[in-house]
Amino acid sequence: MKFEQKIIIEKAEIDEQGHVNNISFVRYVQEVAVGHWFHVTTREQQETFAWVMTRHEIDYKKQAFEGEELTVMTWVNTWTAVTCERLVEIYRGPDLLVKSKTIWCLFDRQNSKPKRIPAELKALF
């Protein structure tokens, strides 16, 4: 199941070279993952579990500029017992600007330890 968000590039996200700072793209990757989590889970699940990013890869294909609207799309690709691989693509219209692969580990909020991912959570994604 794919999930997407739209963003408009703000002036504060522009670096000295006149395009979006790489840190902003990393933030978009995190924000869309969190948005997806809150979109498909219940309050009880959100209060019980948390995700922690353990690995991050990002490929920058094209630049983005102030005022542009971007589409940030994400989905879960694969699962292990306690992690998932999440893919993210960022587009300006039909142009792919950034693609990312992140590994997220599920944690139990009560004891701050990794938690086996329940089948009902996997089914939501």
Tokens of 106: 């599920």
DSSP 62-118: S---TT-EEEEEEEEEEE-SSEEEEEEEEEETTEEEEEEEEEEEEEETTTTEE-PPP
What is the pTM (predicted TM-score) of this model?
Answer: 0.92
Tell me: the pLDDT tens digits for 19-69?
999 999 999 999 999 999 999 999 999 999 999 999 999 999 999 999 999
